[in-house]
């Protein structure tokens, strides 16, 4: 199942989108009532994973900028919060599942996991190097720092194609 987890951070854009199966609402605040059917069932990532499905993350780019913000989306997969509201907390996934959704699971979806999606001998070297350890940040419960992580280097087919200047 492919998700764009950045949408789990509710805000004005979320409030304006059309969503089926919403309970009767008396105002915008009712969107976040945790007793509503929608709030109990939106983005069922953990449930899908628990029932044997595998998660793939996609970006929602291009929307407002050229930056697909993959690490913001990764942080949202784990925390599902906009800083005030947590969207369907029981459906949070762990950092390792979120990383897999961006890497090996996408390769699996397209039948290329034999040559892409993980760092193994004999596979194509398509790799990004990050400026922070996102696993440590998740373990320290620092979602904002995960979202602010930058790509320091991109290696495509074994060649450095991007290197962030210091």
Any idea where the domains of the chain sit in the sequence?
2-163
Per-residue confidence (pLDDT) for residue 59, from 0 to 100: 63
| Exposure string over 58-97, b if 16+ CB within 10 A, otherwise e | bbeeeeeeeebbbbbbbbbbbbbbeeebbbbeebbbebeb
Most confident of 2-16, 20-34, 83-97: 83-97
Share of the chain above pLDDT 70, in %: 80
Q: Do 90 and 73 form a contact (C-beta atoms < 8 A)?
A: no
* Per-residue pLDDT tens over the stretch 14-72: 666 666 666 777 877 777 788 888 888 888 999 999 999 999 987 655 556 666 667 88
* Residue 159, pLDDT score: 95
Residues near 164 by beta carbon (within 8 Å), at least 6 away in sequence? 131, 150, 151, 152, 153
**pLDDT (average), residues 8-12:** 64
Q: The whole model's pTM is what?
A: 0.82
Residue 9 burial by Cβ neighbours in a 10 Å radius (0-12, 13-18, 19+): buried
């Amino acid at each position: 199942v492919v998700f764009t987890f950045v949408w789990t951070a509710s805000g004005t854009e979320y409030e304006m989108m059309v969503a089926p199966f919403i309970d009767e609402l008396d105002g915008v605040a009712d969107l976040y009532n945790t007793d509503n059917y929608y709030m109990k069932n939106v983005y069922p990532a953990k449930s899908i994973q628990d029932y044997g499905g595998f998660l793939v993350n996609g970006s929602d780019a291009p929307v407002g900028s050229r930056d697909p913000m993959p690490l913001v989306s990764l942080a949202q997969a784990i925390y599902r919060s906009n800083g005030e509201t947590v969207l369907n907390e029981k459906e949070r996934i762990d950092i390792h599942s979120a990383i897999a959704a961006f890497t090996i699971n996408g390769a699996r979806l397209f039948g290329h996991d034999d040559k892409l999606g993980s760092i193994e001998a004999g596979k194509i070297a398509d790799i990004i190097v990050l400026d922070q350890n996102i696993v440590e940040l998740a373990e320290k419960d620092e979602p904002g720092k995960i979202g602010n992580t930058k790509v320091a280097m991109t290696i495509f087919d074994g060649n450095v194609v991007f290197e962030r200047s210091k």
